[in-house]
Structure 1
Amino acid sequence: MKELEKVKRISISSTLFILAVLVGVLAYERPENMYARNTKSTLEDLTRLNYIIPMDKLDSPDVVLVDIRRPYDFEQGHLENAINIPAAEILREENKKIFRKLKDSNKLAVLYGNKIEEANIPFLLLYQLGYDNVKLLSVNNKYLHNSLITESADVEKPVANIRAFIDESVRNATKKEEVKKPAVIPKKVIPVKKKKKLPVEGGC
């Protein structure tokens, strides 16, 4: 009788465990945004790719300008034929659909803001999500008497070899870790001579 009760308990607990696993699998939701590239591969790509485009290269029909500023700034003035996708809303589903459509039709999305630095984060997010058809426009925008003034921005090109700098940094970090590990010094064992016991002297 006790054996039968044990078997019942085991079968009930097994069933409950399987149900819990099934509920967990069915309830699991895939993250909304999955990165296609990690930070390391992104940095490696950016050291060898030219991801900045100047104003004089915008005459191609395959280029779509994306203004990442606030709607208020966009309405005050924007570059001709630009569409407005604010930086804070860049990952909304309807906006991702726009970037997917541009990628599928082999069009280049060129991001710009008031300064080139403003478009850096949206650019990196999109690039890591797999949109390799994005670039940055090297311009600065400002308002003068309610008119938008757009000027070319000078972006410094790195003189040093960034790839070599990264490799050297990794080597130095590895060396430091090796130095931190204490060297194992074998212990020297010194034998201790036992003292001979003296014979017990006689009584009084």
Structure 2
Amino acid sequence: MKELEKTKRISIAAVMTILVVIIALLSYKRPKHLYTTQPTDALAQILNTDYLLSQKDINLTNQALIDLRSQFDFDKGHLENAINMYAPEILNDENSDVLTDLKEQGKTLVLYSNNPNEAIAPYMVLYQLGFDNIKILSVVNSYYQNKLITKDVTVENALADVNAFIQESIKKKEEAMKKAKDAAAKTKYVASKPIIAPKIVVPKKKKKMPVEGGC
């Protein structure tokens, strides 16, 4: 009888475990955005590839201009036929669908903002997500009397600057780790060092000398 009860309990536990696994599988949602490349690969892309595009090289028959500025700036003025995708919202559902459609059409995504530096972060994110059909428009945008002024800009030593940034980041990380290690070692040494109470010195009373003279 005891063996039967034990078998029943094991069977019920096994069934419950299977049900939990099934429920977990049914409720699991695969992340919409999955990186297909590593950040180091994206950095290598910037370091080794000409990712910049000038205004004269724009060919809208096989390219799509993506304006990364805010809706307010976009409404004030933008390049003709540009699509507004505010950089912090570039991965929302609507923008993701548009980007995927453009990629399937064989379009090259040409990103631009107020300056090329502001487009690098979205470029890196999209590249890691598998969008290898992207460029950055090397222009600066400003306004004069509420009119958009777009000028080409020459990005000098772009590759060297990125590489220097990487090396500087590595150096700062190593210095921070060394400081943390030294601080931990110092704390350990202080904690292990015995605490010696200060010696209390009691002053000796001076011996009274006998009074000379008298009766």
After TM superposition, the score normalised by the length of structure 1 is 0.75
The superposition leaves residues 167-200 of structure 1 with CA deviations (integer Å, 9 ceiling, x where unpaired) of: xx8xxx9xxxxxxxxxxxxxxxxxxxxxxxxxxx
Is 2:72 the counterpart of 1:72? yes
Cα distance, 1:44 vs structure 2:
2.1
Looking at structure 2, the residues matched to 44 and 151 of structure 1 have their Cα atoms a distance apart, in angstroms, of 28
Which residue does 1:51 correspond to in 2? 51
Which residue does 1:111 correspond to in 2? 111
Looking at structure 2, the residues matched to 45 and 23 of structure 1 have their Cα atoms a distance apart, in angstroms, of 42
Q: What amino acid is aligned across from residue 104 of structure 2 in structure 1?
A: D
Which residue does 1:145 correspond to in 2? 145
1:165-180 to 2 correspondences below 5 Å? none
Cα distance, 1:59 vs structure 2:
3.5
Between 1:148-157 and 1:107-116, the stretch displaced more is 148-157
Identity of aligned residues (%): 42
Q: What amino acid is aligned across from residue 6 of structure 1 in structure 2?
A: K
Partner of 1:25, secondary structure, is: helix
Looking at structure 2, the residues matched to 77 and 147 of structure 1 have their Cα atoms a distance apart, in angstroms, of 7
Looking at structure 2, the residues matched to 57 and 108 of structure 1 have their Cα atoms a distance apart, in angstroms, of 12
CA RMSD of aligned residues (A): 2.6
Which residue does 2:30 correspond to in 1? 30
The superposition leaves residues 127-180 of structure 1 with CA deviations (integer Å, 9 ceiling, x where unpaired) of: 1111111111011101111111111122123359x5xx98xx8xxx9xxxxxxx
Which residue does 1:18 correspond to in 2? 18
**Are the structure 2 counterparts of residues 121 and 22 from structure 1 closer, same or farther at C-alpha, using a change threshold of 3 Å?**
same
Is 2:128 the counterpart of 1:128? yes
Cα distance, 1:49 vs structure 2:
1.4
Q: What amino acid is aligned across from residue 39 of structure 2 in structure 1?
A: T
Cα distance, 1:45 vs structure 2:
2.4
Looking at structure 1, the residues matched to 141 and 34 of structure 2 have their Cα atoms a distance apart, in angstroms, of 33
The superposition leaves residues 101-122 of structure 1 with CA deviations (integer Å, 9 ceiling, x where unpaired) of: 1111111110111111221221
Partner of 2:66, secondary structure, is: strand
Partner of 1:40, secondary structure, is: helix
Partner of 2:75, secondary structure, is: helix
| Stretches (4+) displaced over 4 A | none
* Count of aligned pairs: 171
Looking at structure 1, the residues matched to 73 and 45 of structure 2 have their Cα atoms a distance apart, in angstroms, of 32
Looking at structure 2, the residues matched to 147 and 55 of structure 1 have their Cα atoms a distance apart, in angstroms, of 18
Partner of 1:16, secondary structure, is: helix
Partner of 2:100, secondary structure, is: helix
After TM superposition, the score normalised by the length of structure 2 is 0.71
Report the structure, 1 or 2, having the larger helix content: 2
Unpaired stretches in structure 2, ≥5 consecutive residues: 175-215
Which residue does 2:199 correspond to in 1? none
